Amino acid sequence: MHRQIAGRLTGPTTKWIVLVATILLAFGFAILGGKLAEVKDNEASSWVPSTAESTKVSNEISDDVNPNDIPTLVVYHRDSGLTEADFAAMDEQAEEIGNVEGITDAGVLTPNAARALQAQGENVPDLVSEDGEVAYVYFVLNFGKDGWNKIGPPVDEIKEVAKLEGADVYVGGFGGQASDFIESFENSHFWLLALTFLAVIVILVFTYRSPILWILPILSAGIANVMAGGVVYLMARYADLTVNDQSQYILSILVIGAGTDYALLLVARYREELRRHEDRHEAMAFALHRAAPAIIASAATVVIGLMCLAFADLNSTASLGPVLAVGVAVTLLVMVVFLPALLVILGRWIFWPKLPTFGSDEPTQTGLWAKMGQRISVRPRAIWIVTAVILAIASLGLFRLDATGLSTEDSFTEELNSIKAQKLLAGHGLADNSNTLQVVAEESAAADVQQAVGDVEGVGKPSDLRPLSDGRVWFEAPLTEDMASHAAWDVVENARDTAHGVDGAEALVGGAAAFYLDTKTSADRDTKVIIPIVLVVVLLILMVLLRALLAPVLLLGTVVLSFGAALGLSALLFHYVFGFEGADAGFPLFSFVFLVALGVDYNIFLMTRVREETLHRGTREGSLVALSSTGGVITSAGLVLAATFLVLATLPFVFLVELGVAVALGVLLDTMIVRSVLVTALNLDLGSKIWWPSKLDRGEPIDPDAINEWEPASAKH
């Protein structure tokens, strides 16, 4: 950012204009952000790629099967066996359930009703297990397009109705799972924000050693979060952007973490300039002029890296990129426009009790990071080699990472009632009528497909054939396995192989389990495609920023090495400490995008300062000055970002717990080891060669005034 522009943004008059304009905009976007729940789409089927076989089936049967239908079960279990009185009670409860808002015209199917229909020759699935210990009542809920956001109260009402003394009763199926999911995350967004802000406040108070200064970054991050929510609402409302609970949680975490990082860098540079300039407006103009390029480059790297997710097949992944990119872009604007104006308005006293008075010494010149730089400079080559080897060894933990997907049971850190219902059905060999294979075929060969699929192990009794348009028919068959389990996916693959093998059938196999399998397949594809794209994009950004080739390649290599170590150590933690069964198929990709984009951030903060100092001191001394000047603020920024992502571990969803832990660990590795030790050691070992093939790669420049002098180069201007 040009110094004249920076000066205008924080001038004696414009600072007040910026303040008022930001407050008005924040108020307007807060109103819009409050409506975000109205446009959130938590329905899993909206995430599947249009090319998936399960999506094609869903499209073909859309006239027969309402996409807003939510199959739901009430599962009853008695160890000694269910009695006739129990079945009579189910009939009575079914009448009350039938009056609950949202029950479709098909009504409620009870075990007794199913037996009666079977006696009449109807093809109705069994609702009672062979041992007589488990039975279920089946019905369908439908609340329209936004049904998944409205399902909580009706299911709560059903839970009040469905009770048997001395027996276990659980609401299961899609309705039970949706209700449990909503209940598990109830008020979690509020507590997530509260814990995040608390963690950030503690770190800022410790960093600034001021009881007041921390308020400004927190206030700015809060405003950025509010404004980002409003912008995302507009995009979801008018640009058909998919937003769900998961993306909203990550959005808040990223905005607060990244915003605080940018604030730390800006405030640190502003404090430096206050010691060199008597007028605080001039000091801020210089601070923005020096710090803004690094902050903008950092934000651009994150934004462009996140936008690479648009190449994903999965709609949920593709839509997450724009949501988070908007958040980072809004945060950048707030931190380089609003926060500087606020700092200038309040003056130097905001740093109390350690005021950066004009002409005072810069404490970082002889601080911890200056001393660490001196130690690294003794044997830089040995240090970077040993550090790289240690990180490579830590990366071996990747062999312990099982990112092939999680069953419904393993996806949560607590056992939900809907999971208990599913386990009862599976444990007693009872097919789940809400979890079916949906098969479409040509009418001429449909009977052969029906018989063949019905013979596949794990598939229950198929329904009657139902006509579709254009000579196509369809049927469904219940599964005994959890729809998100590997066992269910094996059944789907076997059913597809069988159905596809029937000549002339042109058969397609879909349904809930098929949807999860297609999701996992797409996630694997996205990981292989997007990771190389992100690497190329980040490399190009670094080349433009540093105007060199070797430095960007080395920096990217260090970040990838850090990512491998973080994921390797995380995999060991997940398996041996947390006891998780594995990881979601999308976990490696999300971890990579966040860790590479955010990890490069800290290298950008460091290397832009190294380049600035190199122009006057040479690479080796410039590297030591840059480390001493940025070490404290980058470490604090890393702690803030790690703490904010670690808050995700408080949620009951395994994917978010694993993502939070992995990103937090990776950020700490980046700030404590990669940036401070590995990159600095490489700079000191290679010297000016690090800038090859730019003009800086011409040997160390000679600046007699800078030799053994720890005054930052910016002080000379």
Kind plus residue range of the DSSP H or E element containing 495? helix 486-500
Banded pLDDT at 717 (limits 50, 70, 90)? very low
Is 146 within 8 Å of 122 (Cβ atoms)?
no
Confidence check: pLDDT of 716 > 50: no
- Which CATH class name applies to 367-400+547-717? mainly alpha
Confidence check: pLDDT of 74 > 50: yes
Banded pLDDT at 705 (limits 50, 70, 90)? very low
The closest of 532, 539, 541 to 556, measured between CA atoms, is 539
Confidence check: pLDDT of 78 > 90: yes
Is pLDDT larger for residue 192 or for residue 499?
A: 499
Is pLDDT larger for residue 699 or for residue 696?
A: 696
Confidence check: pLDDT of 8 > 80: no
Across 1-15, 146-160, 555-569, least confident range: 1-15
pLDDT confidence of residue 697: 66
E-strand spans in 92-181?
Answer: 134-142, 168-172
pLDDT confidence of residue 396: 95
Confidence check: pLDDT of 567 > 90: yes
pLDDT confidence of residue 664: 92
Banded pLDDT at 149 (limits 50, 70, 90)? low
Confidence check: pLDDT of 2 > 60: no
Confidence check: pLDDT of 706 > 60: no
Kind plus residue range of the DSSP H or E element containing 424? helix 417-427
Confidence check: pLDDT of 702 > 50: no
* Those residues with Cβ within 8 angstroms of residue 688's Cβ, 6 or more apart along the chain or in another chain: 614, 618, 619, 696, 697, 698, 699, 700
Task: State the fold for domain 1-33+187-334.
Answer: Multidrug efflux transporter AcrB transmembrane fold (1.20.1640)
pLDDT average, residue stretch 544-567: 90
The closest of 447, 275, 298 to 364, measured between CA atoms, is 275
pLDDT confidence of residue 541: 87
pLDDT confidence of residue 96: 92
pLDDT confidence of residue 699: 54
pLDDT confidence of residue 470: 80
Same CATH topology for 68-184 and 417-518: the answer is yes
pLDDT confidence of residue 605: 82
Buried b (16+ CB within 10 A) or exposed e, 289-302: bbbbebbbbbbbbb
The domains of the chain are located at 1-33+187-334, 68-184, 367-400+547-717, 417-518
- The model's pLDDT over 592-627, given as tens digits with 9 standing for 90+, comes to 988 887 778 788 888 888 888 888 888 888 888 888
The closest of 589, 648, 669 to 251, measured between CA atoms, is 648
pLDDT confidence of residue 704: 38
pLDDT average, residue stretch 659-673: 90
- The model's pLDDT over 327-378, given as tens digits with 9 standing for 90+, comes to 999 999 999 999 999 999 988 888 888 877 877 766 656 668 888 888 998 9
Distance CA 621, CA 619 (A): 6
Is pLDDT larger for residue 655 or for residue 248?
A: 655
- What is the number of helices (H) and of strands (E) in the chain? 26, 7
Q: What secondary structure letter does DSSP report for 62?
A: T
pLDDT confidence of residue 40: 64
β-strand pairing of 432-442 with 508-511: antiparallel
Query: Average pLDDT, whole number, for the chain?
Result: 85
pLDDT average, residue stretch 372-393: 92
CATH architecture of the domain covering 417-518:
2-Layer Sandwich (3.30)
pLDDT confidence of residue 389: 96
Confidence check: pLDDT of 435 > 50: yes
The closest of 481, 478, 511, 480 to 496, measured between CA atoms, is 511
The closest of 353, 134, 350, 164 to 263, measured between CA atoms, is 350
Banded pLDDT at 710 (limits 50, 70, 90)? very low
- Ramachandran quadrant class, 75 (left: phi over 0; alpha: psi -120 to 50; beta: rest): beta
pLDDT confidence of residue 445: 93
Share of the chain above pLDDT 70, in %: 91
Distance CA 4, CA 127 (A): 76
Confidence check: pLDDT of 711 > 80: no
pLDDT confidence of residue 714: 40
- The model's pLDDT over 111-137, given as tens digits with 9 standing for 90+, comes to 999 999 888 888 788 899 999 999 999
Banded pLDDT at 497 (limits 50, 70, 90)? very high
pLDDT confidence of residue 6: 53
Share of the chain above pLDDT 90, in %: 30
Q: Which CATH number fits domain 68-184: 2.40.70, 3.40.50, 3.30.70, 3.20.20?
A: 3.30.70
